[in-house]
Each structure stands twice: as structure tokens, then as C-alpha cells.
Amino acid sequence: MEAEVPQPISNLPSRWGSFTGPQLSWLAAASVPPYICLRLHLAVALTLIGCAPWIAATTALAFGRREGRRLDAFAGDWLQFQLQPKLLRHPDGARLVPGAEFHPVDGAQARSRSLPWSTP
């Protein structure tokens, strides 16, 4: 007899048709600049040419995947990683040596030395 395994359904994305919430938000963001351009009575060809990069980028963020994750989440995590300080902090650093709680990871001194196992 097989037992039923309870699974949380709150983590499943809600869907409208075949689209998830984030996909619909990116598609809505893709439609804003063309809508504004058409409301300003610009030519259709000019609107499509001018808004094509924006539409392509938001469509890629809506449907793209990278390493099994949504592309917008992957890009957001990558950007957050690039903007965060590259410092290590010891939890007891302030208690052990006042003022020495931060240590640079990739300082010039670390770059000048090569690793012993990587030298030819």
C-alpha cells in the first residue's frame, strides 16, 4: 500500500492559463513602452524598431532559464553577488581584536602570490 506524501502547495506558482505570475509581469512590462509610443501617435514601424530591444529583453527574462532557474532570479542573484562587498568577517573578530572584524579577501597581496599547486 502506498502512503500519500504531503506536499506544500504554497510554493507552487499560481498560473493564469499557461503563464506564471512572474511571466505575466514581465510580459506586462514588455508592453508598456510600445503602448506609450502608440498613444503618442508614433509610426508603428518606428515604435517596433525602437521598442524591439526592450521587448526582447523582457521576453527573455520572462521565459528564459539558466542552470534550471528562472533567468530573472538568476540575473538578480548574480547582480546582488557583484554588488556585495567581497569581505570575510569572523563572528568573534570584534571580541578578539577590536577593529579587525573585516579582512579583505582579494587584496593586492593575495593576487601577487600564485598558488603552490598551480605553478608550472
Phi, psi dihedral angles at 20 (to 5 degrees): -90, 170
Span 9-43, pLDDT tens digits: 665 556 677 888 899 999 999 999 999 999 999 99
Q: Is 94 helix (H, G, I), strand (E, B) or coil?
A: helix
Q: Which of 7, 15, 51 is nearest to 33 (CA)?
A: 51
Residue 48, pLDDT score: 92
Identify the pLDDT of residue 47: 93
- Residue 109 pLDDT: 53
Amino acid at 20: T
The pLDDT score that the predictor gives to residue 119 is 47
Q: In the chain, what is the greatest distance between 2 CA atoms, to the nearest angstrom?
A: 68
For the chain, list residues with pLDDT below 50: 110, 119-120
